Amino acid sequence: MSQVFFELIRQLNSAVFVLIVILLAVGYLLLKIGEWKQKFFDHDNRVSKVENFSERVIAMETKIDLIYRFSNPNAPTKSQSPVSLTLIGNKIVQDINANEILKRYELKLIEMVEKERPNTAYDIQQVSFNVVKEKLIDLLDEKELIKVKEQAFSLGILIEDVTSVFGVLLRNIILEQRKIPIAEVDKHDPQKK
């Protein structure tokens, strides 16, 4: 065997030697490309798992929020359809003059809701709640923000719970403007006239 190997080496000229080196380099390069491709494939799998995980976290957050609303004895809103104010919610509206505060920001908030183009009463409700939750705190002046914080502290609830009453009030205003009965939040179909 070794004699055959040495005989092949003796027969090699520089062109054949260069060809063998090139073939070995190409083989090595193909091996590395295969490894890189596998790494990218593994990375894509991990990214898709992370995206799936974030969707699960959002779903869990929503469920926890619903559990909190149902189990909180001081909840200002009732999680039923349509969402309505509880006795505590009505007390908050009176204590912080929520209707007066809402009048100051009503046009901006309605514009933000309409920007999302909600069609059904349910969509109006959801978008109203989201706009209030995400934007209202930034709009409030210092006195109004202090009122909201003090109310939350005195009732032992979250600031978001206090601001949720504004979502209900805003939804009611928009539904009234569109002449949609509040009691029919889930039944309203804009296609029916």
Gap between the Cα atoms of 69 and 49, Å rounded = 30
**What pLDDT, on a 0 to 100 scale, did the predictor assign at position 187?**
64
**What pLDDT, on a 0 to 100 scale, did the predictor assign at position 193?**
44
The pTM of this model reads 0.65
Whether the CB-CB separation of 133 and 163 falls below 8 Å is answered with yes
Element (H, E) at 77: strand 77-78
Low-confidence ranges of the chain (pLDDT < 50): 188, 190, 193
**What pLDDT, on a 0 to 100 scale, did the predictor assign at position 43?**
77
DSSP annotation of 143 reads H
**What pLDDT, on a 0 to 100 scale, did the predictor assign at position 52?**
77
**What pLDDT, on a 0 to 100 scale, did the predictor assign at position 106?**
93
**What pLDDT, on a 0 to 100 scale, did the predictor assign at position 1?**
60
Rg, C-alpha atoms of the chain:
33
Domain ranges for the chain, please list them: 2-68, 77-184
Taking residue 145's Cβ as centre, other Cβ atoms within 10 Å add up to 15
Taking residue 22's Cβ as centre, other Cβ atoms within 10 Å add up to 10
